[in-house]
Copies of this chain bind each other. A is one copy, B any other.
């Protein structure tokens, strides 16, 4: 569902009436033109509302960016926390984390897309990059634990393993096309099958 195209068809002015629709249209524009390349004027025009209608909901464009990347990060950190609470081998927690991350990417696709394109030009972006690094370190730590437990191959550096693993997961933002009736569970199964057991038959 392309929410950025919606306002043109919707009743004039309506999408600017609640924060959620302002946020969704803003994220669509940020992904389309870049955060720097999008003005509040363009957002207002896309929504068919006045700038003051937008400032009724948020204080600045940067606040929209913060809310957007936080939604993606909060989703990923919730999955990380749940994975950390798993009893049992680290490799099971890692699989739980990959599966949950695929679900967050699919469910919050525009928000995660924006997060993964952030380059660090503003305070909000630098904070987002810092949280991404924190997430990456936690993944590397989990890979390292699983390696100590003998479940992850020891011939690849754990930091490289975690980068490649999430390189695969994050590539979804480049090619995944949401479709009615598409099954996120199947996609998560495919990612886990390839990442954990490889594409070669055993």
Contacts and interface: CB of A to CB of B under 8 A. Distances in A.
Interface stretch (A3-11, A14-22, A65-73, A154-162): A154-162
Contact of A152 (B167, B171, B200): B200
Nearest to A200: B196
A174 interface: yes
Contacts of A202: 202
A165 interface: yes
A130 interface: no
A51 B154 CA distance: 53
Copies of this protein, total: 2
A92 to B, nearest CB: 11
Contacts of A78: none
A183 to B, nearest CB: 12
Contacts of A155: 193
Q: Which residue, A151, A174, A200, has most C-beta atoms of chain B within 10 A?
A: A200
B175 A171 contact: no
A199 B201 contact: no
Contacts of A150: 201
B153 A163 contact: no
Q: Secondary structure at chain A's binding surface: helix, strand, loop or mixed? A: helix
Interface in A116-175: 143, 150-157, 160-161, 163-168, 170-172, 174-175
A163 B151 contact: no
Contacts of A187: 160
A52 B167 CA distance: 42
A82 interface: no
A151 B196 contact: no
Q: Which residue, A155, A187, A198, has most C-beta atoms of chain B within 10 A?
A: A198
A132 to B, nearest CB: 10
B197 A152 contact: no
Interface string A170-202: 111011000000000001001101111111111
